[in-house]
Structure 1
Amino acid sequence: MPVLLDLRGANSSDVQIGISPISELQACLHALAEPDHHLEHRAWLVRTDEALSPDLRARLTRFAPLWARRRCRLLLPLSSPLDTDVDAEIERLSRLPERDFVEAAAYTIQGGDFDPRQAVSRPREFIAACEARSFSRGELARSLVDDPEEFRAVLMRTLTDCVGEFFAEEWERIHDRLREEADQTRSRLRGLPLAELISSVSPAAQPVQGGRAVRFDKLQNLTVALRGNSTLLVPTIHGRPHLIIRGEAGFPVVVHYPVAWHSQPASIDEMQQRLTILSDPARLALCRHLVNEAITTSDLARRMNMTRPQVSRHLARLRAAGVLTSERSGRYVYHRVDVQKLMQMGVELLRAIVR
């Protein structure tokens, strides 16, 4: 059940890459609510959870369905620009029309196969659907329906208190790493076709349909058309390992993709994924060409007797494995294997095995 981004009619100019503190805050809240999913941040999670004030802890428990498996669209960028501060992003919530706010919150609170417009048109049925999921979801749904503006005010106050109690300090710590990732991805946009650029942010993605779409391997069946809409690529540290893709009407498409700290060793699963990518015979053959010189996609296609889309798909997988660099020179983009990264994989594999 894949997620498919339909790129037909989309332009690279519609894609923005940047950081979003409210998205990272939501990732932190999800990790605090589901710590078993985020063992690599266990020390930070334990320390932060123990320091929470009782009042904030109670409100986080109340609102927990908003950052459960589905994640709330309200706590991802509501509009561009990216790279703003968390107070500005929280303030955007106050300007969102009430109906849009209610439907976005309702979709996440119910968390199943549900038309969020029912929260406005048929509120009793919406509440019953949430109660069927859990008592806490039912209570949260009732408070949303009974007084949407009070619900919004308490949520915004809760987010602001999170910033004061723990997130401002954590954002200061991770901000530079996220900005570096965004800058690197932005530089790739200048030299890569749109399908390759989007697929480069995750090993779970690959260009398909001759570069007219990108397929994400997720337990979700969704097709999102990018034509006529802006697309925001936003890196996350605390969201790792989850990849979140959202494409609701009226909001920008968001790809919230996980990245690691520089010093953080790869997991055994990540190493297995990279080795699987490199073990493909066609990719190994490409690497033999790319290790000695920088080559264009067209030239590789000619040498390998492949089509350009076939070569592009293989290059995207090599880039996902972290061993390919691409640079533009004039009208052409040249690819080359990063020998140092390839050698480092041996060290990382040993670390993953003995850890």
Structure 2
Amino acid sequence: MPVLLDLVGAESSKVSVGTSPIAELQACLHSLAEPDHHLDSRPWLVQTGQSLSRELRQRLTEFAPLWARRRCRLLLPLCAPLDASVDDEIGRVARLPDPEFIAAAAYSIQGGAFDPQQAVTRPGEFIAACESRSFSRGELARFLLDDPDDFRNSLVRTLTDCVEEFFAKEWGRVRPRLRDEAEQTRSRLSGLSLAELISSVSPAAQPVQDGRAVRFDKLQNLTVALRGNRTFLIPTIHGRPHVIIRGEPGFPVVVHYPVAWRRQPPSIDEMQQRLTILSDPSRLALCRHLVNEAITTSDLSRRTNMTRPQVSRHLSKLRSAGLLRSERSGRYVYHRIDVHDLAQIGLELLRAIVR
């Protein structure tokens, strides 16, 4: 179930690359609401969560359906230009016409496949659909429809309080890295085709249909057409490892992509290959020896009652999975499992699954 960006008729001149503080703020709020998706950010999450005032913590819990599962379109850039201040972007949310505001909020609150216009035309069915997802979604849906102005004012105040309590400091820290990433992507605009450019921002993306589309490996079945639309490519740090693609009518298309890791996270297929390699009983037996000390092939053969050719074949597989380190000392080659890389498999599997 991929997300497909349809590039037929798309114009490179309508593609913009830049930073968005409100998008990064939403990524922070998502990671605070779903900390198990963001184990790399655990120290920051713990510190920030403990520092929040009680009132802000309560409001973040109330509004969590806006960013916990499906990120709210209100908290991505609503219009050009990019690289605006967070106050300017929050101001755009405050000034958005009611129909667009209600539809965008309703789409995230319900979090499923439905026409957000039904929030206004069939409010009873909309609230029931939200209640079927969770009590908190039902309550937030009622709040939105009973008093849209109060809902908006409370949301804007919550965002402003986030800026004051933790985000202004964090934005100052991550903005230079995001600005550098945006500049690097922007520099590729003239040298790559549109399909190559968009694919270059994420290992989860690849050009398909002879460059007429880009496919993202996501748990969605969605096609977004770029023809006639502005498209924003926006890097994120706190959004890692998620790639967010949004294409609601009336708003620019947004690709919110994580900045590159020091080492690109593996794909689902690569993780399946690693797990298959490790599932072999003979290789697991070798690993039990190799995590404790550096051992030669001959010694492994003697300890495990395997022939040297058998041991060599299994070691080659472990090396292809990126787990084995070999070092020559005199006439002998010693092998050892890299414990850090072995421990990373669980984390990398999580990244590949939630991306």
Larger radius of gyration: 2
Return the match for 1:352 from 337, 341, 349.
341
Aligned to 1:57: 57
Aligned to 1:239: 239
Q: Distance in 1 between matches of 2:188 and 2:266?
A: 27
- 199 and 33 in structure 1: CA distance in 2 versus 1, 3 angstrom threshold: same
Structure 1 portions without partners, runs of 5+: 277-348
Q: Distance in 1 between matches of 2:33 and 2:103?
A: 23
> What SS is found at the alignment partner of 1:29?
helix
1:81 aligns with 2:81: yes
> What SS is found at the alignment partner of 1:234?
strand
1:42 aligns with 2:31: no
Aligned to 1:321: none
- 271 and 4 in structure 1: CA distance in 2 versus 1, 3 angstrom threshold: closer
> What SS is found at the alignment partner of 2:245?
strand
Q: What amino acid maps onto 1:127 in structure 2?
A: I
Aligned to 1:8: 8
> What SS is found at the alignment partner of 1:88?
helix
Aligned to 1:220: 220
Aligned to 1:165: 165
Aligned to 1:249: 249
Aligned to 2:91: 91
Aligned to 1:177: 177
1:121 aligns with 2:110: no
Aligned to 2:210: 210
Task: Return the offset for 1:266.
Answer: 5.4
- 93 and 43 in structure 1: CA distance in 2 versus 1, 3 angstrom threshold: same
1:139 aligns with 2:128: no
8 Å Cα contact 2:203-2:267 kept in structure 1: no
Q: Distance in 2 between matches of 1:350 and 1:202?
A: 27
Q: What amino acid maps onto 2:258 in structure 1?
A: P
Structure 2 portions without partners, runs of 5+: 275-337, 345-355
> What SS is found at the alignment partner of 2:223?
strand
Q: Distance in 1 between matches of 2:341 and 2:61?
A: 35
Task: Return the offset for 1:143.
Answer: 0.5
Q: Distance in 1 between matches of 2:102 and 2:195?
A: 34
Q: What is the Cα-based RMSD across aligned positions, in Å?
A: 2.0
> What SS is found at the alignment partner of 1:82?
coil
> What SS is found at the alignment partner of 1:245?
strand
Q: Distance in 2 between matches of 1:247 and 1:147?
A: 27
Normalising by the residue count of structure 1, what TM-score does the alignment of the two structures yield?
0.76
Aligned to 1:311: none
Q: Distance in 2 between matches of 1:4 and 1:193?
A: 17
> What SS is found at the alignment partner of 1:189?
coil
Q: What amino acid maps onto 2:72 in structure 1?
A: C
Q: What amino acid maps onto 1:42 in structure 2?
A: R
Q: Distance in 2 between matches of 1:128 and 1:250?
A: 27
Q: What amino acid maps onto 1:109 in structure 2?
A: I
> What SS is found at the alignment partner of 1:238?
coil
Q: Distance in 2 between matches of 1:196 and 1:270?
A: 21
8 Å Cα contact 2:204-2:267 kept in structure 1: no
> What SS is found at the alignment partner of 1:229?
coil
8 Å Cα contact 1:268-1:353 kept in structure 2: no
Q: Distance in 1 between matches of 2:235 and 2:259?
A: 6
> Any idea what the Cα deviations from partners look like across 1:107-143, whole Å, max 9, x if unmatched?
1000112111011111111111111111100000000
- 149 and 75 in structure 1: CA distance in 2 versus 1, 3 angstrom threshold: same
Task: Return the offset for 1:205.
Answer: 0.8
Q: What amino acid maps onto 1:68 in structure 2?
A: A
Q: What amino acid maps onto 1:72 in structure 2?
A: C
Q: What amino acid maps onto 2:19 in structure 1?
A: I
Further displaced range: 125-134 or 232-241: 125-134
Task: Return the offset for 1:352.
Answer: 3.3
> Any idea what the Cα deviations from partners look like across 1:293-325, whole Å, max 9, x if unmatched?
xxxxxxxxxxxxxxxxxxxxxxxxxxxxxxxxx
- 260 and 50 in structure 1: CA distance in 2 versus 1, 3 angstrom threshold: farther
8 Å Cα contact 1:233-1:254 kept in structure 2: yes
Task: Return the offset for 1:267.
Answer: 5.3
Q: Distance in 2 between matches of 1:75 and 1:121?
A: 24
Aligned to 1:23: 23
Q: Distance in 2 between matches of 1:267 and 1:222?
A: 24
- 119 and 354 in structure 1: CA distance in 2 versus 1, 3 angstrom threshold: closer
Task: Return the offset for 1:260.
Answer: 4.3
Q: Distance in 2 between matches of 1:49 and 1:172?
A: 19
8 Å Cα contact 1:19-1:235 kept in structure 2: yes
- 199 and 268 in structure 1: CA distance in 2 versus 1, 3 angstrom threshold: closer
